[in-house]
Chain A
Amino acid sequence: MRKLLILMVSAVGLFLFYFTFQAAAAVFYTDWDLPDAGEQDENVPRVVLITNETDHPFWRDVAAGAEKKAGELNVDLDVSGIYGSNTEDFLRKIEIAIYSKVDGIIVQGLDNEKFKELTKLKAASYGIPVLTVAHDVPKEESLRKTYIGSDQFEAGELLARELLEDMGTTGEVILMMDSEPEYFQRQRLEGVEHVLAGYPDIEMIEAKIGDREQGLSTVNDLLNHFPQATSFLAVNASFTEELVKEIETRRKVDPYYIYTFDEERGAYALLESGKIDGVVEQSPEDMGQLSVELMSDWLQKDSQPLDIEGYFTEVSIVKDLNGQ
């Protein structure tokens, strides 16, 4: 009886001791998962990538490529963009980057006076090199070091040739663009026009959406104005989806030749469903990678000049994902 009691007491004691120590260990276990303090390496260049529409697949790919390269080259890359495409906020980001004295700015080119002033005056006065990515601005207006992205002129040409092939040499081609088309849109337009100029039977109509003078406040108006159109080229890709929807409400989409760029979110989905006929595919990841690489090179070997004309990434036309 007495033995049993002792056994029980010691069992309870052991039990209590075990849990007490367990609890004590849990309480006094000091492994705070805090970041390491002060990596004071001043030599790591701080580079900012600023884009519009950061949640856009295209720009996500750009950022991903840039980050990948930054990791490889030991560059402190800060991807800082805005959702949507508010110009004011966008410029603000650039300004903050400049005042924050980053070592380099990689930015989506914006054909805007303020942008040009920022890059030309502010960035230059702080000695910060600016590279444009994906969308260029005129080199003499922005004092950008170089441009990394698709050759938009070539992309336009590519698109025009594809159109000729599909549509033939006669037809009414609507070129959809902003009311004040940006530089990259103008380059694309030039490319298209350069090819189609040799075909007199093709009528090119520059549809500046949002332009009051032309009476084109929305895509909706486009169909009313140009009922004879046989094909649409979305120079500004963001009009594509709206256009397709608009056409679908009236008649079949099939007879129209619709081409767009991969900046359009739903471009591939539309292509897959056969509603559009071709997408110009750019290489956003390559752009990101190349831009960071060039920036890193520039920052480390200051003397080596960059090609002011730009470094072009691959452009191709995707016709049909199903291979038809």
Chain B
Amino acid sequence: MRHLQKKIWLLAIVVLIIMVIIWISLTYYNQKMQDQYNQILERYLVMNELNMLSQETVASLNAYLLDPSDANFRTIERRKNRMGQLYDEVTAFRNTDNESELTNYTNLTVSLVEMTERSVNFQISGEIETAKSALNEAIHIADYVSEMRLSVIDKELRTYDIFYREMIDRSEKLTELGVWLLMTIILMLLFFTYWFSLRITKPLEKLTESAKRLSKGQFDREIEADSKDETAILAGTFEQMRININNLFIETKQKARLEAELQESKYLLKESQLLSLQSQINPHFLFNTLNTLSKKAYIEGSEETSDLLVSIADLMRYNLRHMDKPTALHEELHVLKQYIQIQKARYTDRLTFITEIDESCLGIQIPGMTLQPIVENAIIHAVEPSEDGGTILFRVRQALNHVVIEVEDNGPGMTEEKIEMLKDARAVTSEKGTGIGFKNVVQRLKLFNASDEVVDIQSKIGHGTKISLYILKERSDMTYDQSSHSG
């Protein structure tokens, strides 16, 4: 909290400095006044002392004349010396105004000293009477000194009259200044305090506001604090926190999306597996039963039924075995033929199934159960609704990198929207047929090929539908196998 402390200190120091300045100037002023007073007072005191000393000198002279002892003589000498000193001091007080009075005053004291000396000398030389008359004169002079002192002080008073009046005036003005100063300081203090507190609380307020926003979950607004003190540091760290939280937030969102996608693909795989499992209900029992039925039909002379049952059994066996791993195309074709045989038994002449197969392509690997659902779709959509039945053309041919498997029918066709939906594998699985829908096939092919370019649908209303599957000749990796094994 160094900065805030500094601000508070600054305020305190400003106030202190103002106080000190006022104190010093007032003290200085007071001192000056005092000096002036003292100076004037000293003048009076010194002037007065000179006068008193004059009287005392005369008194001591009188005492000496009555009793010319050494002690009295020394007293006179001492007082005379002191008068000499005071003479110098008083002479220093001379100014243009009091010059003549003061000179008269000091000269009178000099005359007094001279007269005193004369009297003493006469006394020493034995002329007592002359000494007495000199004493009388000295008394006169002391009288004059006294009188002159009055006029000197009178003059002084007149000279300093203006000064005294000004002093009184000043002290009144001082009171006035005090009032003004007080008001000014109050105003200044109020202003400074307001300013300082504003500088401290404003950033804090902003910070509080930002904190409120953050707590409401708004991480996108920047936190600002236009100060340079601790609040700025606080705001900075706060801002950093906000950025971090915001980043984490976005990251988590992305992760969640990815997770969802992954979950979906896993789910698709699981679905197909589940479907296959559903059809595994005691498969061996069903298989054996079908075989038994076939033998029974054969013994009873129904060869055709026997063959159909064999086909179904084969189909089942294949499904049981090959659902989760790639098989060769020819195997898949074999199963497809069995299926067609079964369907032929159902639709008899209404179903015409034509194959055009490039034999060189038969060795290629494809996911199990890919062809049957497509053909089944064709039968359901093209053959079943029509009374006259329909034709399904099954073609396998070479392309540059792919083997193209085409299933073409002459059914009612479908709309563009339907095509797009199928292409994107968004269509709901058909309830009819084996249940493994077109979507499932497309998804598995996509995973198998590790590419989105696996299916092409060409269709026109009333002109049939052509579905092409593209199988990569050379697959770059074996992701499909692994994922399917682990699943």
Q: Which of B90-98, B308-316, B446-454 contacts A (4 or more CB under 8 A)?
A: B90-98
Q: Which of B105, B112, B160, B174 contacts A34 (CB 8 A)?
A: B160
Knowing A36-B95, A101-B110 touch, does A46 contact B100 (C-beta < 8 A)? yes
- The residues of A that contact B94 with a CB separation of less than 8 Å are 37-40
Contact with B along A1-37 (1 / 0, CB 8 A): 0000000010011001101100110111010111111
- The residues of B that contact A9 with a CB separation of less than 8 Å are 187, 191
A101 and B107 contacting across the interface, CB-CB below 8 Å? yes
B108 and A13 contacting across the interface, CB-CB below 8 Å? no
Q: Does A78 sit within 8 A of B, measured CB to CB?
A: yes
Q: Does B478 sit within 8 A of A, measured CB to CB?
A: no
CA distance A46 to B102 in the complex (A): 12
Q: Does B181 sit within 8 A of A, measured CB to CB?
A: yes
- The residues of A that contact B180 with a CB separation of less than 8 Å are 16, 19-20, 23
Contact with A along B176-211 (1 / 0, CB 8 A): 110011011001100100000000000000000000
Contact with B along A267-297 (1 / 0, CB 8 A): 0000000000000000000000000000000
Q: Does B424 sit within 8 A of A, measured CB to CB?
A: no
- The residues of B that contact A12 with a CB separation of less than 8 Å are 187
Q: Which of A13, A76, A96 contacts B187 (CB 8 A)?
A: A13
- Scan residues 17-76 of chain A and give those whose CB is less than 8 A from a CB of chain B: 17, 19-20, 23-24, 26-28, 30, 32-40, 46, 76
- The residues of A that contact B100 with a CB separation of less than 8 Å are 46, 76, 78
CA distance A19 to B191 in the complex (A): 18
Output the residue of A9, A20, A95, A96 with the most chain B CB within 10 A: A96
B147 and A32 contacting across the interface, CB-CB below 8 Å? no
A23 and B176 contacting across the interface, CB-CB below 8 Å? yes
- The residues of A that contact B183 with a CB separation of less than 8 Å are 16, 20
CA distance A95 to B141 in the complex (A): 9
A13 and B107 contacting across the interface, CB-CB below 8 Å? no
Output the residue of B96, B108, B184 with the most chain A CB within 10 A: B184
A100 and B107 contacting across the interface, CB-CB below 8 Å? yes
- The residues of B that contact A78 with a CB separation of less than 8 Å are 100, 104
A99 and B144 contacting across the interface, CB-CB below 8 Å? yes
Taking the closest CB of chain A, its distance from the CB of B364, in whole angstroms, is 84
Contact with B along A86-98 (1 / 0, CB 8 A): 0000001001110
Interface size on B, residues (CB 8 A): 42
Question: Which residue of A has the minimal Cβ distance to B176?
Answer: A23
CA distance A102 to B105 in the complex (A): 11
B166 and A28 contacting across the interface, CB-CB below 8 Å? no
CB contacts between A and B, total, < 8 Å:
99
Question: Which residue of A has the minimal Cβ distance to B178?
Answer: A23
CA distance A17 to B174 in the complex (A): 16
Contact with A along B137-167 (1 / 0, CB 8 A): 0001100100110000000000110110010
CA distance A35 to B105 in the complex (A): 19
CA distance A227 to B97 in the complex (A): 57
B160 and A27 contacting across the interface, CB-CB below 8 Å? no
B103 and A46 contacting across the interface, CB-CB below 8 Å? yes
- The residues of A that contact B104 with a CB separation of less than 8 Å are 78, 96-97, 100, 102
Question: Would you call the interface of chain B mostly helix, strand, loop, or mixed?
Answer: helix
The interface size bin for chain A is 20 to 34
CA distance A16 to B182 in the complex (A): 10
- The residues of A that contact B159 with a CB separation of less than 8 Å are 34-35
Taking the closest CB of chain B, its distance from the CB of A106, in whole angstroms, is 14
CA distance A9 to B189 in the complex (A): 13
CA distance A196 to B140 in the complex (A): 48
Knowing A34-B163, A38-B94 touch, does A24 contact B140 (C-beta < 8 A)? no
Taking the closest CB of chain B, its distance from the CB of A12, in whole angstroms, is 7
Output the residue of B107, B148, B183, B191 with the most chain A CB within 10 A: B107
CA distance A96 to B149 in the complex (A): 12
- The residues of B that contact A17 with a CB separation of less than 8 Å are 184
Contact with A along B471-487 (1 / 0, CB 8 A): 00000000000000000
B177 and A32 contacting across the interface, CB-CB below 8 Å? no
B95 and A96 contacting across the interface, CB-CB below 8 Å? no
Q: Which of A19, A36, A92 contacts B96 (CB 8 A)?
A: A36
Output the residue of A13, A30, A35 with the most chain B CB within 10 A: A35
A38 and B191 contacting across the interface, CB-CB below 8 Å? no
Q: Which of A20, A36, A99 contacts B107 (CB 8 A)?
A: A99
Q: Does B34 sit within 8 A of A, measured CB to CB?
A: no
CA distance A184 to B428 in the complex (A): 162
Taking the closest CB of chain A, its distance from the CB of B114, in whole angstroms, is 9
A27 and B177 contacting across the interface, CB-CB below 8 Å? yes
B103 and A16 contacting across the interface, CB-CB below 8 Å? no
- The residues of A that contact B103 with a CB separation of less than 8 Å are 46, 100
Q: Does B25 sit within 8 A of A, measured CB to CB?
A: yes
CA distance A17 to B96 in the complex (A): 41
Question: Which residue of B has the minimal Cβ distance to A32?
Answer: B163
- The residues of A that contact B32 with a CB separation of less than 8 Å are 30
B95 and A39 contacting across the interface, CB-CB below 8 Å? yes
CA distance A97 to B184 in the complex (A): 60
Q: Does B173 sit within 8 A of A, measured CB to CB?
A: yes
- The residues of A that contact B92 with a CB separation of less than 8 Å are 38
Knowing A16-B180, A46-B103 touch, does A100 contact B163 (C-beta < 8 A)? no
Q: Which of B95, B105, B177 contacts A37 (CB 8 A)?
A: B95
Q: Does B99 sit within 8 A of A, measured CB to CB?
A: yes
Q: Does B298 sit within 8 A of A, measured CB to CB?
A: no
Knowing A35-B96, A36-B95, A38-B94 touch, does A13 contact B163 (C-beta < 8 A)? no
| 17 A-B pairs (CB sep. < 8 Å) | A13-B191, A20-B181, A23-B176, A26-B170, A27-B29, A27-B177, A28-B25, A35-B98, A76-B99, A76-B100, A92-B144, A95-B144, A96-B144, A97-B104, A99-B108, A99-B144, A102-B104
> Told that A13-B187, A20-B183 touch, could you supply 15 new A-B pairs with CB distance under 8 A?
A12-B187, A16-B187, A23-B176, A23-B181, A24-B181, A26-B170, A26-B176, A26-B177, A28-B29, A35-B95, A37-B94, A39-B96, A96-B147, A100-B104, A102-B107
